[in-house]
A and B are shown apart, each in its own frame.
Chain A
């Protein structure tokens, strides 16, 4: 069932160290909305997505945009800085203890023949698939989506044909962040979380994105499936801390043997 949520964050194409931390913020937003306003996370994920969209646009416009022509390592350092700020702001705001959002759905199970299905997980999975589908439609069936893909393919080419690349990038970053925010809200009832969760979420998503190929939608999809199967298998046989070890080892192996992913373009 972890598949559903992992599908979403594989989609974001910007190399983003703050990825997991953005997701944690999505979780905490859902947590706030649930505890302060009594909104169920299965409804509030829309709000979380919108909020994270805003954060994404701000980060892109205010920070990343200023250094698009700088060496690659500057972008890495920049995102590292953003990740530090986000993670530790969460730590300041919410403290180090694990949190979990309650939703009435969590206690429900459906009996499907011989199987018991957790309703919360089923809903998460369904919404995740719907969101992925919506994203796919957005990227492949709308004009804006086509422009995003074009700009990602060829920055200068897009500039030449008169695309406002800055706006496109901001949108892309925003949409990516929104997906992460929605994902965070959706899993908040299932998965207990704390500020430091950000890193392991980032690692999981890197696993997925790299195995699937940077920037490939289909790749992210399949990568999500593979990694979650591998991690679930790992979880069955290993203790939690060794599971962490497992996912980092997986990252090392994936890095070494698939630097361009299953469906990505070869890195030059």
Chain B
């Protein structure tokens, strides 16, 4: 039943570009892109319960790496994985420090923010990586260089990304790792008593999550053809990722996707509307208010709520 619904949904998404206009296509690309990021965050923040507010750093590292390698003649198809590996390495460092020194809850959040900010400041100040202006990528339109003239190519790649992350999470849910993570979120001490190496599994979650997030950096760079330190490393970008997972339902498989489908079109419309009237930051006010509202009224997110509703109607 579930598999059928998922299959139909994927088929519809595969067929959509045939009927979508350019602008709608762009919105869908963003929906998939953010759903992918939120899903990658979900592994660490949702399942393992380790709130990271610095995931933008992994996108930044991934994007900068492949963009710089591209300047030196390495195709982004390879650079993407180098960037993701570097992002995973940074994730491992943050994880090692945070978990070894026993930083939990609020302290762990601060640690991730601090690392992301350090990355942002470094990127803004090192001229070799473009400094405050950032990096610009020359457009060649060559698919071998991860560049496409047709937006539909980006659409399918973003969709593939989203399905990949969701597949990874679905796999995790069935494996020992995923089951352990949900328990680590609840009570680490009890896990230790039951023979679970919490450090090891938190590290695994961190590395997988940061690797996947790092992959997205290349997509970002070669879809926008530019990278600004403030935009890719900044806290607002991390918030974009977190808020989708939380609103959709952190720690659930469909949550991040649902969150992105709800929030991305809203965010784009409000950005356009408010941006035209010169009201910068208005959409962040909305995000903040939404975050507060979700915490107060739907602490588990939209998906568990929807599921309960559907069950009640079926019953």
Contact = CB atoms under 8 A, between A and B. Distances in A.
A157 interface: no
B102 A259 contact: yes
6 contacts: A76-B105, A80-B291, A81-B295, A96-B280, A245-B125, A249-B118
Interface stretch (B134-142, B191-199, B281-289): B281-289
A36 interface: no
A81 B118 contact: no
Contacts of A88: 281-282, 284-285, 288
Contact of B292 (A81, A245, A251): A81
Interface of A is mostly: helix
B122 A245 contact: yes
Contacts of B121: 241-242, 244-245, 248
> Which residue among B49, B104, B281, B284 has the maximum number of chain A CB atoms within 10 Å of its CB?
B281
Interface of B: 49, 51, 53, 97, 101-107, 109-111, 114-115, 117-118, 121-122, 124-125, 235, 239, 242, 246, 279-282, 284-285, 287-292, 295-296, 299
B285 A81 contact: no
A76 B106 contact: yes
B194 to A, nearest CB: 19
Contacts of A252: 97, 111, 114-115, 118
A195 B236 CA distance: 14
Interface string A46-82: 0000000000000000010011001011101110111
A244 to B, nearest CB: 6
What are the 8 A-B residue pairs with the smallest beta carbon separation, nearest first? A84-B288, A81-B291, A85-B288, A91-B281, A88-B281, A81-B292, A88-B284, A88-B285
B114 A241 contact: no
B282 A92 contact: yes
Nearest to B125: A241
